[in-house]
């Protein structure tokens, strides 16, 4: 890659112009702003330069930037310009990176396929007739197609890991509180977390090191010291203890996904890892618990989009109530409306105890399962998703089936633990398959060491989608 910031940015923008018409992963290319920033970096004194000097980065469009729109993939925010930049954007700038694009997503990060974007769907670079996963589909595709080396996504219930699996790249959801949520447009505040996306583990490490750490503006940001992740990656992982949960290898798991996951576990055995079966007995409650908690929080968070302060407002309303209801009806898509209604119902008088309070109790049990399991292992491995990428429209008319695409992912968000997906194989038709690794709170360094050990022994992450040859 070109050593100058201007050269790196120019190459990334050229690839976006050439390939994005086929993929539709970019909502806004920040060409003018990115080029100006790159030129300023090159003109600055040569030392000291940040660890990401001149590196082009794509950012999910629910993360506020001071240039370009921040739409959250929704028509209700189609023309919204954030008055400030998110903490992670400030950290990227401090590291010398250049944000070159805002990427597509399921509207307000609510979806598992990026079919729910208010503007257009994003396509999987391995097969453009298939979904890339969601909701961070745009960021994942930008990295998978090598438009940019790194991207930021966000997770509420697998929104980085699931598309990373579908598109054959590495995506990490850090521990809740490891990365500031300041400037991330809220979906479900107790679950949301910003995370890095890259082709390989060293790339994830570089990006995580740049964005992790305490931020006083986010009350959920934790002051836990940030380790030297790159230094840890250079060290031997030592004795590795791998746990696999029987609950994640049951009914509904695609045979080729099962085979690839079991082969990955065998790789760890050959590396000398101690592999043992563990149990997460409350896994059966994960999806129900997640979709009560996240919809309840979404119902509250999305009340701010009322046509009064910012965003879309309906034309010529009859009165205030009509303005409020018509604005939201016109601005929100069907999936967002569905989740707002589900959440409002779960929080309503007479149903709060029956649904929301019970879901919080189930969440505590799910978290306790992980705390107990990690007494016997360093990481828990599983398939990232039950199937490879599905075709467009295949699950669109069945919300429950779509929600089950995240069945192996939501538990890590409910428990607040770090989890990532790395490529572990391909189907006979050439679709990527991901391996999920989950670790105890703030054990990202150990998780990344163990993931890197696997990548040093395999080559799945080196394979590029066909569109990269164009």
Q: How far apart are CA 348 and CA 158, in angstroms?
A: 27
| 201-211 and 87-94 helices, crossing angle to 10° | 110
Our answer to whether residue 159 is catalytic in this structure is yes
Report yes or no: 319 and 309 within 8 Å, Cβ to Cβ.
Answer: no
**Residue 364's CB: how many other CB atoms inside 10 A?**
13
Report yes or no: 92 and 206 within 8 Å, Cβ to Cβ.
Answer: no
Q: How far apart are CA 401 and CA 156, in angstroms?
A: 18
Query: Residues 135, 139, 154, 382: which is the catalytic one?
Result: 135
Q: Identify whether 48 is preceded by a cis peptide bond (ω within 30 of 0).
A: yes
Number of residues in the chain: 470
Q: How far apart are CA 213 and CA 90, in angstroms?
A: 12
Query: Residues 60, 75, 173, 395: which is the catalytic one?
Result: 60
Q: How is residue 431 written in tokens?
A: 């679709």
Q: How far apart are CA 56 and CA 35, in angstroms?
A: 10
b/e sequence 42-79, b meaning 16+ C-beta within 10 Å:
beeeeeeebebbbbbbbbbbbbbbbbbbbbbbbbbbbe
Q: What's the Cα-to-Cα distance from 292 to each of 283, 328, 404, rounded to whole Å? A: 15, 21, 14
Nearest 5°: the CA angle 277, 208, 409 is 40
Q: What are phi and psi of 364, to 5 degrees?
A: -60, -40
Q: What's the Cα-to-Cα distance from 461 to each of 150, 168, 197, 226, 237, rounded to whole Å? A: 14, 7, 13, 26, 20
> What is the residue-wise DSSP string for 373-398?
HTTT-SEEEEESSSSSPPBTTSSTT-
Q: How is residue 191 written in tokens?
A: 């679950």
Report yes or no: 63 and 88 within 8 Å, Cβ to Cβ.
Answer: yes
Query: Residues 113, 159, 299, 382: which is the catalytic one?
Result: 159
Q: What's the Cα-to-Cα distance from 315 to each of 245, 323, 334, rounded to whole Å? A: 54, 8, 21
Our answer to whether residue 135 is catalytic in this structure is yes
Half-sphere exposure of 83 (CA within 13 A, CB side): 3
Q: What's the Cα-to-Cα distance from 264 to each of 203, 258, 379, 435, rounded to whole Å? A: 21, 10, 14, 8
Q: What share of the chain is helix, strand, coil (3-state, %, to 5)?
A: 45, 15, 40
Report yes or no: 389 and 135 within 8 Å, Cβ to Cβ.
Answer: no
Question: Which amino acids are annotated catalytic?
Answer: 60, 135, 159
């Amino acid at each position: 890659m070109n050593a100058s910031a201007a050269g790196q940015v120019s190459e990334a923008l050229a690839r976006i112009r050439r390939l994005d018409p086929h993929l539709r992963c970019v909502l806004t290319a920040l060409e003018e702003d990115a080029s100006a920033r790159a030129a300023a970096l090159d003109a600055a004194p040569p030392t000291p330069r940040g660890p990401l000097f001149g590196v082009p980065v794509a950012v999910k469009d629910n993360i506020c930037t001071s240039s370009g729109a921040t739409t959250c993939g929704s028509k209700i925010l189609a023309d919204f310009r954030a008055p400030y930049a998110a903490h992670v954007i400030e950290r990227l700038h401090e590291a010398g990176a250049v944000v070159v694009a805002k990427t597509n997503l399921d509207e307000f990060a609510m979806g598992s396929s990026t079919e729910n974007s208010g503007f257009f769907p994003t396509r999987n670079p391995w097969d453009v007739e298939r979904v890339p996963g969601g909701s961070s589909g745009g960021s994942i595709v930008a990295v998978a197609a090598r438009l940019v080396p790194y991207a930021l996504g966000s997770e509420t219930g697998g929104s980085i890991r699931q598309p990373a699996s579908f598109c054959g790249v590495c995506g990490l959801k850090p521990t809740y509180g490891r990365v500031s949520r300041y400037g991330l447009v809220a979906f479900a505040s107790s679950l949301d977390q910003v995370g890095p996306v890259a082709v390989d583990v060293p790339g994830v490490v570089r990006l995580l090191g740049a964005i992790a750490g305490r931020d006083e503006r986010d009350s959920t940001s934790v002051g836990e010291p940030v380790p030297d992740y790159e230094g840890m990656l250079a060290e031997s992982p030592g004795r590795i203890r791998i746990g696999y949960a029987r609950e994640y290898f049951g009914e509904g798991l695609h045979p080729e996904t099962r085979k690839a996951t079991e082969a990955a576990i065998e790789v760890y055995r050959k590396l000398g890892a101690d592999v043992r079966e563990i149990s997460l007995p409350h896994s059966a409650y994960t999806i129900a618990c997640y979709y009560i908690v996240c919809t309840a929080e979404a119902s509250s968070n999305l009340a701010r989009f009322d046509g009064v302060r910012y965003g879309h407002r309906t034309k010529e309303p009859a009165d205030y109530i009509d303005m409020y209801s018509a604005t939201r009806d016109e601005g929100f898509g069907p999936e967002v409306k569905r989740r707002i209604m589900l959440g409002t119902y779960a929080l309503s008088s007479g149903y709060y105890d029956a649904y929301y309070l019970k879901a919080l109790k189930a969440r505590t049990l799910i978290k306790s399962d992980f705390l107990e399991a990690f007494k016997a292992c360093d990481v828990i491995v599983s398939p990232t998703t039950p199937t490879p990428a599905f075709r467009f429209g295949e699950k669109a008319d069945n919300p429950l089936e779509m929600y089950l695409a995240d069945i192996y992912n939501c538990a890590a968000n409910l428990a607040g633990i770090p989890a990532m997906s790395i490529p572990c194989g391909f189907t006979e038709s050439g679709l990527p398959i991901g391996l999920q690794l989950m670790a105890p709170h703030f054990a990202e360094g150990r998780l990344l060491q163990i993931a890197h050990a696997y990548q040093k022994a395999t080559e799945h992450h080196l394979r590029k989608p066909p569109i990269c040859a164009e």
